[in-house]
Chain A
Amino acid sequence: MSERTAGADRRVAWYRQMVEIRHFEDKVQELFMAGLIQGTTHLCQGQEAVPVGAISAMARGDVQTNTYRGHGEALANGMSPETAFAELMGRTSGCSRGVGGSMHLIDASKGNIGSNAIVGAGAPIAVGAAMGFKLRKEPQVALTFFGDGATNIGTFHEALNMASVWKAPVIFIITNNLYGEYSPVRSTTPIDDLARRADPFAMPGVVVDGQDVEAVHSAVSTAVARARAGEGPSLLEMKTYRYRGHSRSDPAKYRPEGELERWKQRDPIELLGAKLAAEGILSADHQAAIKAEIQAEIDRAAERAAQAPYPTLEETRSYVYAD
């Protein structure tokens, strides 16, 4: 579905999803500081248009892999905030029964087949899932989300190579938020447009405005159609920005002054909100009401999640082996 034909209902749904992710992530930070979520978190405020626009281009039965910064992908894929909070709190009602944690929000039943804590690992796994579909002559495709930093690890190049040689129905999505952990992308990578990394693998490489959910949706839809038609993989680079630091309480002091403020002027939620208001689809008042409503839902979801019990070692033994 292109930008022009996306229906009003759908765009409002995207707006709601992006708000949900934003409020979820803000709540995670609050719960982390309160000690209810421990270990580490990697938040995605500012990047919401990427998972929402891309995952809405998937059809039933399609699959996606994502990363340790994967809360947005999990929620956009239909995981309830309560299930996600429960996982982050290590509770047995979490999507991965509490053994996964923040970096492993996984729901195979909805096609979210892996949230990986190893940079670059999800790309070849998605190629494999896509090849499974192809070998079984099924029409599904696989998406894989990873960051700009992952384009420097071997598995990224290996995955693009295999996908192209085998014409695997897979879509590689770079969420380029300008920083690989604490390092600016240009200090680790010799080019600005990472989409150019498609060229040596003979596949389309497309730069996309990652703040514009409609542009993301449109670009991913084109790549999905191409993959489903048997024409092989694509590499899409989403130019975006993460508002918070790399992880935990990283204050991101390595960023130049004013950069965050400049990006906030093109906030993905407000960008869509302004269009919807201008087109008379969703007024500013309605938008404020949606935000309040979702904030209340998020607060309730976190409260309910915290009521659930922790898993026992005994129940986790069956997660090691299937046989």
Chain B
Amino acid sequence: MSTQTEAAPAMGATVEMTYREAVNAALDDAMAEDPSVILMGEDVDADGGVFKTNAGLPQKYGRERVMATPICENGFTNVALGMSLTGIRPVVEFMFADFMPTAGDAIVNQLPKYRYMSGGQFSVPVTLRVVSGAGGRFGTQHSATGESWFMAQPGMRVAVAGTPAAAYELLRAAIRNNDPVLVHEHKALYARKGPVTRGAIAEIGKAAILREGTDVTILASLMMVERAMAAADELAGHGVSAEVIDLRWVRPLDMETIGASVAKTGRLVIAEEQWHEGGWGATVISNLTRNGQAWKSVPRAVALYYDTLIPYSPPLEDEMIPSAERIVTAARKSVGQIPA
């Protein structure tokens, strides 16, 4: 972790840091830049927070701006909404994505509708930081990504961070935005390292092409991004040129970038740590098809298995989460190297 004794890297400098440090840096930079930004949630001030993303922040900004809450997601998310009406820009931490449904009213009925139902009288600059994803041996109620749960209605934007750079840039964009934004972090990625540019702000609704290719488009989010990149390496060994896109935004979906890629490759593999039905992957395929995409082979989805849930048992959990190998297989089927 970065510590308070080190000088912070200058804005604009690109440095290697972990995904966890990138979250910390985004919070730190946003709070330093704007005194109305606060961080709130369960245990956010205790020993760096549950996933150590908040180290140093209580000491630097005080416990009024790094504010521990009681365990009451619906209550404190609505409190954040109220704060945003009187000049505060709250960042709310959800310790696990699985806790979001307890704040269902705040997330479905209040944050996305508050401006609308007043005829545009308010802006609601609330950021929800959500610790998501499986692989941590946390069992079925602490392992959801939940990334598609709230994509079905307008009013709130939903981001998914697949790399340290995305974790930094998406969180900065969310906090700066004057509307509610939900940002998913993946708990299995916190120790991953990558280049991060301090001060960079993500463009809302813009996906990132991480690797260019011509034969097949692999569209991934969260932890699936690194698995898609590993799959692309392996596919190159089989003579398959894969283009990898980090989705970055579930709402709004970047159909322009995705559409241009698939127009080039004619093939698509969705890599998603969620069930395919009712999620962003299915919506992307629907949008492309409705837009007249001519497929060279049927679009494929590598996802959680349809008819079972996320287990605790370590080997089973590993089997449940889509692997690079499954992505490779789907892509090779797509180009006809192996039978479908």
Contact of B117 with A121 in the complex, beta carbons under 8 Å: no
**In the complex, B72 has a CB within 8 A of chain A:** yes
Interface residues of B in 123-163 (CB under 8 A from A): 123-125, 154-155
Provide the residues of chain B in CB contact with A158, threshold 8 Å: 70, 72, 74-76
**In the complex, A265 has a CB within 8 A of chain B:** no
Contact of A100 with B72 in the complex, beta carbons under 8 Å: no
Interchain CA distance A219-B116 in the complex, whole Å: 34
Contact of B119 with A96 in the complex, beta carbons under 8 Å: yes
Contact of B81 with A165 in the complex, beta carbons under 8 Å: no
Chain A residue nearest to B120 (CB atoms) is: A319
Interchain CA distance A318-B88 in the complex, whole Å: 22
Contact of A129 among B75, B83, B155, B204 (CB under 8 A): B83
Provide the residues of chain A in CB contact with B90, threshold 8 Å: 128
Interchain CA distance A154-B36 in the complex, whole Å: 29
Contact of B78 with A320 in the complex, beta carbons under 8 Å: no
**In the complex, A113 has a CB within 8 A of chain B:** yes
Provide the residues of chain A in CB contact with B121, threshold 8 Å: 96, 106-109
Contact of A124 with B109 in the complex, beta carbons under 8 Å: no
Contact of B109 among A95, A108, A118, A136 (CB under 8 A): A118
Interface of B is mostly: loop
Interchain CA distance A162-B38 in the complex, whole Å: 17
Interchain CA distance A104-B84 in the complex, whole Å: 19
**In the complex, B5 has a CB within 8 A of chain A:** no
CB distance from A42 to the nearest CB of B (A): 16
Interchain CA distance A100-B121 in the complex, whole Å: 11
B: interface residue count bin: 35 or more
**In the complex, B98 has a CB within 8 A of chain A:** no
Interchain CA distance A165-B177 in the complex, whole Å: 30
Give 1 or 0 for each of B163-182: 1 = CB within 8 Å of chain A CB.
00000000000000111000
**In the complex, B46 has a CB within 8 A of chain A:** no
Provide the residues of chain B in CB contact with A319, threshold 8 Å: 115-116, 118-120
Contact of A129 with B86 in the complex, beta carbons under 8 Å: yes
**With known contacts A319-B116, A320-B115, A322-B115, A132–B87 Cβ distance under 8 A:** yes
Contact of B105 with A99 in the complex, beta carbons under 8 Å: no
Interchain CA distance A127-B70 in the complex, whole Å: 14
Contact of B118 with A118 in the complex, beta carbons under 8 Å: no
Interchain CA distance A109-B81 in the complex, whole Å: 17
Chain B residue nearest to A321 (CB atoms) is: B179
Among B87, B121, B154, which residue has the most Cβ atoms of chain A within 10 A? B121
Interchain CA distance A126-B78 in the complex, whole Å: 9
Interchain CA distance A107-B118 in the complex, whole Å: 8
Give me the 3 closest cross-chain CB pairs, A-B, nearest first.
Answer: A128-B82, A158-B75, A132-B86
23 pairs, CB–CB < 8 Å, chain A vs chain B: A96-B117, A98-B119, A106-B119, A107-B121, A108-B85, A108-B121, A113-B82, A114-B85, A114-B118, A116-B110, A121-B106, A124-B75, A128-B78, A128-B90, A132-B85, A133-B86, A138-B86, A140-B86, A159-B75, A161-B72, A162-B75, A320-B116, A321-B154
